[in-house]
Copies of this chain bind each other. A is one copy, B any other.
Amino acid sequence: MDIRKLQNKVIEFRDKRDWAQYHNPKDLAISISLEASELLEIFQWKDARQVEALKADLVSRQRVKEELGDVLIYALTLAREFDFDPTDIILDKMQINNKKYPVKKVKGKSEQ
C-alpha cells in the first residue's frame, strides 16, 4: 500500500479517538523510543545463534511484528505533525546516506 495512504489510516485512527491533543512531537518521540526498547528487549541476553533462531519462532516473530508496528505507527504520526511526506523522508535520507557512504568507500565495512 502507498505509505501516504497508510499514514492517512494511522491519523484517521488517531483522530477518531481524539488523541491529537496528546500527540505533541516530544511525547511522540518518547513513544518511538519506548517502542524501540520493547522491540530491543526481545533480543536482550540472546547470543548470535539464539538471535538467528528467533526468526523461526512464531511467538517471537509475532512480538517483533507488533513492536515494529508500534515504531512505524508513531513515526508516521510524528511525520504528520511536521507535515513531512513519508516517501520524501525515506528517499531524501537515502540520498544523504548515498553521499555519506559511497559504495566504493564502504563496501563490506560496517557503517560505524
Contact = CB atoms under 8 A, between A and B. Distances in A.
Contacts of A25: 43, 51, 54-55, 64
Contact of A111 (B33, B45, B103): B45
Contacts of A106: 17
For chain A, the bracket of interface size reads: 35 or more
A44 B34 contact: yes
As for how many copies of this chain the complex holds, the number is: 4
A60 B59 CA distance: 31
Contacts of A97: 13, 73
| Residue among A25, A41, A82, A97 with the highest chain B CB neighbour number at 10 A | A25
B17 A101 contact: yes
Given A10-B90, A69-B92, 17 more contacts: A9-B94, A17-B103, A19-B110, A26-B46, A29-B36, A29-B39, A30-B40, A30-B44, A33-B40, A34-B37, A55-B81, A65-B84, A65-B93, A66-B93, A70-B93, A71-B75, A75-B75
